[in-house]
């Protein structure tokens, strides 16, 4: 047993009384998200009605989870925090650094060789500070958390944007940067803007080819990539109780794609079934008594428009399968319209690879339903036209699927089974056949489809959908294929139609695993030595960032004015760069190399105004830094959308970028910038973006008076001697201003331990 039942007992002991008190104090019925948020207010935080979308509030989460790519920087910061042992149960999961190339066995050996130094570091620090360690191949962080740690009514944070996956088991689980994780592991309160709450009412029941993934794919089309910003998406209605726990987790997982703080489902019989089958009957016994605590109040359900900030209704019975993409997860096509879109937009119809896996869709149910489509194709005499690659979500899923003959069905059909890890989802995919960057389509059961994310090629058009639709399209080898209506020609030349997928939500014989891949920390880790070589390319001890010099920022050159989408993948690419996630100096060489320069529409090519030559972005930033100068980054909407990786904030800080000024920010990234002591500012008038010229110098005035809700002034010094001046806004509260002044939140945290 890796979860701590005593901890959960302690939390549940006073849960109903706490909720009664909260209801009384804030004077209204409670949504499920509010129940969890308010029961987790940090000590000393006043119990009162906080304004949604406005008030910053301190919370005390129950757990922390970190994946290996972000854990490196989080743990390097923890080592600088002054703590000896983590204050809340925490875990590290080795899932991001395994490259998918040949097969699970060979790739795992290669990963263990290539990442030996990093794995050893993560394991040693985990041991020293009392953190649970999940070995490479144990599984993808969110699947492992769902199988082992998620519990109804709990609150956790994770250094990965798809942490909300645990909302499928009614846990309020939020993706954060490593610095936030350090706060919680150090026993400090963790701050979040009280989120708005979007209610999504589910009615009806899924059937046929439609799966839980289609709920969130449709919702992404409705809300767009920004529509959930600063909001919790809370699902309610009779449809919620028809969905499996892993299906609900899929939906919560991908709420990250609409920018939601997190997503959550109420506790139901299916949640209990999953908990029981994953060895947590103890939790079910306790949670069943508290069902009301893990559901919205009746009054909320009878007047949802009154208690949710927005209500959206989805009828599961009428829902079609969706295929979203390319290049953005909110471009949502019901499958009946996909063929037309393929033609109209000239998407490559030749589907080259289907990929099943990722934290979003790699459960036992996902595997079984996809395998049923393969079985059907076999019986119909159909050959699989495209390549099929599978990354099971965890050792437990893999072992159980193998025992039940599911994996062998994939293998017999020619599929390659990769490690239980992220693999192609995070660009850890050595796909030799796209070395020429030819135009092609891939279809995945993942959550993201940004350009270059999976195989590094800008000409790979990635679409996301459910595992069963991935399988059908892979069999057809055609993006425009609609398994609901279209036929295929079999080996006898006959027209045949695939049957609807079928599969068990949970394994009939229960889950099983030989060794789940968990290593518990030793009881007292004080004597554990952490070794980082001075010559290491992968790891580097952190030096604290310098505090603010007490002055306004005067005449700093523009580094880049970004046009269009600028996700954390554009700011700090993954793929081959993942290996430098523990070495700030080395990873800074990828800073903003994927962002498009507004002036020449090129990536990684910006004007050095001193020489009038175009140079690479990190090179220019380093040159300016060497001259004792800073620089300024300008961008458009939803800057920093995507992952929680704080490298996207630390790299500009390290390379002496003074401010990021944008039309709007994605939530996690804005917080990450603030935590690293950066200035994150927004245009009051978005058209002012157009006033910025390529060779401008920029001043930011008003910092000596930096205060909440008070705009700063941006002054542009154009090369021709003219200038512009306008207001820029910020969302810093007083404690965040203190982080800025101290140089970073960590510097401020350390002051507290002195
Ligand atoms: Fe891994 Fe992709 Fe999920 S990178 S954690 S599988 S979004």
Please report where in the chains the tokens 């935590």 appear, as a residue.
675
Closest CA to 329 of 447, 417, 241: 447
Residue 300 CA to residue 586 CA, distance in Å, equals: 51
Residue 401 CA to residue 501 CA, distance in Å, equals: 16
pLDDT in tens, 350-369: 999 999 999 999 999 999 99
Q: Using the atom order of ligand 1, give the atom closest to the CA of residue 67.
A: 5
Ligand 1: centre distance to CA 590 (Å) = 20
Residue 482 CA to residue 336 CA, distance in Å, equals: 7
Ligand 1: centre distance to CA 163 (Å) = 10
Q: Contact 416/388 with Cβ under 8 angstroms?
A: yes
Residue 541 CA to residue 544 CA, distance in Å, equals: 10
pLDDT given at position 1: 62
Q: Which CATH number fits domain 553-747: 3.20.19.10, 3.40.390.10, 3.40.50.720, 3.30.450.20?
A: 3.20.19.10
Tell which one of 145, 446, 467, 644 to mutate to probe ligand 1, the residue whose CB is within 8 A of the most ligand atoms. 446
Q: Contact 124/529 with Cβ under 8 angstroms?
A: yes
- Torsion sign, CA atoms 105, 111, 113, 118: negative
pLDDT in tens, 482-536: 999 999 999 999 999 999 999 999 999 999 999 999 999 999 999 999 999 999 9
In percent, the amount of the chain with pLDDT more than 70 equals 99
Ramachandran bin of 140, using left for φ above 0, alpha for ψ from -120 to 50, beta for the remaining angles: beta
Q: Using the atom order of ligand 1, give the atom closest to the CA of residue 142.
A: 5
The yes-or-no verdict on residue 476 having pLDDT over 80 is yes
Measuring from atom 2 of ligand 1, which residue has the nearest CA? 425
262-264 and 416-417 strand pairing:
unpaired
Q: Out of 81, 631, 643, 744, pick the active-site residue.
A: 643
pLDDT in tens, 221-266: 999 998 999 999 999 999 999 999 999 999 999 999 999 999 999 9
Is residue 95 part of the annotated active site? The answer reads yes
Q: b/e map of 64-94 (b: 16 or more CB within 10 Å)?
A: bbbbbbbbbbbbbbbbbbebeebebbbbbbb
Listed by start position, the domains of the chain span: 321-496, 553-747
Residue 132 CA to residue 126 CA, distance in Å, equals: 6
Ligand 1: centre distance to CA 426 (Å) = 6
Q: Phi, psi at residue 398, to the nearest 5°?
A: -65, -50
Q: What is the ipTM of this complex?
A: 0.98
pLDDT in tens, 689-746: 999 999 999 999 999 999 999 999 999 999 999 999 999 999 999 999 999 999 999 8
How many of the other CB atoms lie within 10 Å of CB of 509? Answer: 9
- Torsion sign, CA atoms 639, 643, 644, 647: negative
User: Which residues form ligand 1's pocket by a CB distance below 6 Å?
Assistant: 67, 95-96, 140-142, 160, 162, 358-359, 422, 425-426, 446-447
Q: Phi, psi at residue 588, to the nearest 5°?
A: -65, -15
Ligand 1: centre distance to CA 237 (Å) = 29
Residue 617 CA to residue 622 CA, distance in Å, equals: 9
Residue 328 CA to residue 226 CA, distance in Å, equals: 12
Residue 151 CA to residue 164 CA, distance in Å, equals: 13
Q: Out of 280, 570, 622, 645, pick the active-site residue.
A: 645
pLDDT given at position 749: 82
Is residue 160 part of the annotated active site? The answer reads yes
Q: What value does the mean pLDDT take over residues 282-296?
A: 98
In degrees, to the nearest 5, what angle opens at C-alpha 569 toward C-alphas 563 and 570? Answer: 25
Residue 727 CA to residue 509 CA, distance in Å, equals: 64
Residue 569 half-sphere exposure toward CB, CA atoms < 13 A: 21
Distances (CA, A) of 320 to 209, 337, 392, 520, 547: 8, 10, 25, 44, 54
> Angle at which helices 245-253 and 269-277 pack, to 10 degrees?
100
Measuring from atom 4 of ligand 1, which residue has the nearest CA? 426
The chain-wide mean pLDDT, for the chain, equals 96
pLDDT in tens, 374-394: 999 999 999 999 999 999 999
The CATH architecture to which 321-496 belongs is 2-Layer Sandwich (3.30)
Q: Out of 95, 124, 214, 366, pick the active-site residue.
A: 95
The yes-or-no verdict on residue 93 having pLDDT over 60 is yes
H or E element at residue 380: helix 364-380
The yes-or-no verdict on residue 753 having pLDDT over 70 is no
Q: What value does the mean pLDDT take over residues 194-208?
A: 98
H or E element at residue 199: strand 196-203
Is residue 735 part of the annotated active site? The answer reads no
Residue 505 CA to residue 483 CA, distance in Å, equals: 22
Residue 201 CA to residue 315 CA, distance in Å, equals: 8
List residues bridging with 92 in a β-sheet. Answer: 66, 133
Q: b/e map of 514-533 (b: 16 or more CB within 10 Å)?
A: eebbbeebeeebeeeebebe
Measuring from atom 5 of ligand 1, which residue has the nearest CA? 359
H or E element at residue 21: helix 15-26
How confident is residue 646, by pLDDT bands cut at 50, 70 and 90? Answer: confident
Residue 261 CA to residue 263 CA, distance in Å, equals: 7
Residue 738 CA to residue 748 CA, distance in Å, equals: 7
Measuring from atom 6 of ligand 1, which residue has the nearest CA? 358
Q: Out of 62, 160, 180, 688, pick the active-site residue.
A: 160
Ligand 1: centre distance to CA 239 (Å) = 27
Q: Phi, psi at residue 539, to the nearest 5°?
A: -130, 145
Measuring from atom 1 of ligand 1, which residue has the nearest CA? 422
How many of the other CB atoms lie within 10 Å of CB of 106? Answer: 12
Q: Contact 677/548 with Cβ under 8 angstroms?
A: yes
Closest CA to 718 of 740, 753, 694: 694
In percent, the amount of the chain with pLDDT more than 90 equals 94
Ligand 1: centre distance to CA 244 (Å) = 21
Q: Using the atom order of ligand 1, give the atom closest to the CA of residue 425.
A: 2
The yes-or-no verdict on residue 220 having pLDDT over 90 is yes
Tell which one of 425, 454, 462, 578 to mutate to probe ligand 1, the residue whose CB is within 8 A of the most ligand atoms. 425
Q: Out of 40, 83, 96, 669, pick the active-site residue.
A: 96
Residues found in the chain: 754
Ligand 1: centre distance to CA 17 (Å) = 38
Q: Phi, psi at residue 161, to the nearest 5°?
A: -70, -15
Ligand 1: centre distance to CA 79 (Å) = 26
Which tokens belong to 593?
């190399």
Tell which one of 91, 96, 173, 462 to mutate to probe ligand 1, the residue whose CB is within 8 A of the most ligand atoms. 96
Is residue 543 part of the annotated active site? The answer reads no
pLDDT given at position 435: 87
Q: Contact 91/132 with Cβ under 8 angstroms?
A: yes
Which tokens belong to 141?
């962080």
pLDDT given at position 451: 87
């Amino acid at each position: 047993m890796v979860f701590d039942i005593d901890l959960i007992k302690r939390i549940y002991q006073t849960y109903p009384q706490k909720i009664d008190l909260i209801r009384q104090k804030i004077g209204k019925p409670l949504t499920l998200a509010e129940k969890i948020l308010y029961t987790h207010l940090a000590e000393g935080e006043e119990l009162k009605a906080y304004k949604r979308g406005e008030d910053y509030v301190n919370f005390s989460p129950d757990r922390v989870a970190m994946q290996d790519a972000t854990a490196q920087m989080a743990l390097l910061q923890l080592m600088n925090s002054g703590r000896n042992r983590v204050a809340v149960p925490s875990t590290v999961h080795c899932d991001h650094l395994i490259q998918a190339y040949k097969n699970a066995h060979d790739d795992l050996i290669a990963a263990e060789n290539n990442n030996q130094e990093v794995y050893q570091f993560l394991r040693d620090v985990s041991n020293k500070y009392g953190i649970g360690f999940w070995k490479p191949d144990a599984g993808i962080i969110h699947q492992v958390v769902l199988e082992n740690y998620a519990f109804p009514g709990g609150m956790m944070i994770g250094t990965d944007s798809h942490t909300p996956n645990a909302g499928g088991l009614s846990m309020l689980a939020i993706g954060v940067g490593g610095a936030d994780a350090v706060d919680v592991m150090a026993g400090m309160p963790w701050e979040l803007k009280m989120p708005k709450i979007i209610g999504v009412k589910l009615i009806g029941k899924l059937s046929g080819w439609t799966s839980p993934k289609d709920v969130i794919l449709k919702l992404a089309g409705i809300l767009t990539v920004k529509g959930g910003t600063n909001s919790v998406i809370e699902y309610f209605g009779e449809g919620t109780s028809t969905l499996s726990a892993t299906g609900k987790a899929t939906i919560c997982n991908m709420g990250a794609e609409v920018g939601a703080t997190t997503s959550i489902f109420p506790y139901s019989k299916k949640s209990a079934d999953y908990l029981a089958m994953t060895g947590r009957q103890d939790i079910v016994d306790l949670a069943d008594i508290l069902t009301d605590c893990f559901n919205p109040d009746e009054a909320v359900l009878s007047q949802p428009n009154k208690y949710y900030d927005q209500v959206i209704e989805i009828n599961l019975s009428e829902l079609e399968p969706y295929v979203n993409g390319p290049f953005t997860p909110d471009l949502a096509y019901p499958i009946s319209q996909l063929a037309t879109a393929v033609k109209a937009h000239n998407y490559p119809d030749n589907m080259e690879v289907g990929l099943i896996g990722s934290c979003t869709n790699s459960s036992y149910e996902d595997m079984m339903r996809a395998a049923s489509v393969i079985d059907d194709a076999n019986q119909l005499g159909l050959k699989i036209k495209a390549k099929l690659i599978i990354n099971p979500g965890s050792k437990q899923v893999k072992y159980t699927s193998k025992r039940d003959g599911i994996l062998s069905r994939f293998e017999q059909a020619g599929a390659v089974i990769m490690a239980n890890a992220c693999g192609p989802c995070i660009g850890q995919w050595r796909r030799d056949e796209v070395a020429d960057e030819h135009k092609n389509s891939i279809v995945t059961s993942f959550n993201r489809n940004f350009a270059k994310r999976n195989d590094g090629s800008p000409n790979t058009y990635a679409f996301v959908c459910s595992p069963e639709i991935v399988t059908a399209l892979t069999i057809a080898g055609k993006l425009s294929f609609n398994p609901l209506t279209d036929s295929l020609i079999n080996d006898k030349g006959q027209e045949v139609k695939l049957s609807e997928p079928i599969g068990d939500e949970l394994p009939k014989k229960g889950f099983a695993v030989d060794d789940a891949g968990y290593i518990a920390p030793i009881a007292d880790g004080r004597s554990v030595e952490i070794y980082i070589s001075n010559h290491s390319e992968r790891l580097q001890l952190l030096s604290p960032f310098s505090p603010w010099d007490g002055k306004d920022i005067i005449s700093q050159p523009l580094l880049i004015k970004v046009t269009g989408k600028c996700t954390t993948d554009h700011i700090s690419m993954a793929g081959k760069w993942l290996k430098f996630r523990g070495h700030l100096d080395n990873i800074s060489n990828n800073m903003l190399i994927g962002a498009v320069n507004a002036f020449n529409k090129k990536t990684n090519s910006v004007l050095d105004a001193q020489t009038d030559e175009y140079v690479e972005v990190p090179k220019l930033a380093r040159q300016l830094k060497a001259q004792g100068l800073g620089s300024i980054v300008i961008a458009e909407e939803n800057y920093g959308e995507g992952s929680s990786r704080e490298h996207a904030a630390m790299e500009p800080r390290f390379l002496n970028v003074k401010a990021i000024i944008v039309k709007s920010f994605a939530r996690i990234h804005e917080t990450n910038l603030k935590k690293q002591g950066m200035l994150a500012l927004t245009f009051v008038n978005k058209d002012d973006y157009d006033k910025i010229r390529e060779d401008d110098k920029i001043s930011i005035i008003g910092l000596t008076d930096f205060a909440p809700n008070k705009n700063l002034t941006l002054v542009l010094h154009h090369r021709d001697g003219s200038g512009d001046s306008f207001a820029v806004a910020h969302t810093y509260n007083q404690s965040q201003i203190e982080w800025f002044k101290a140089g970073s939140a960590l510097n401020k945290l350390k002051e507290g331990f002195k």
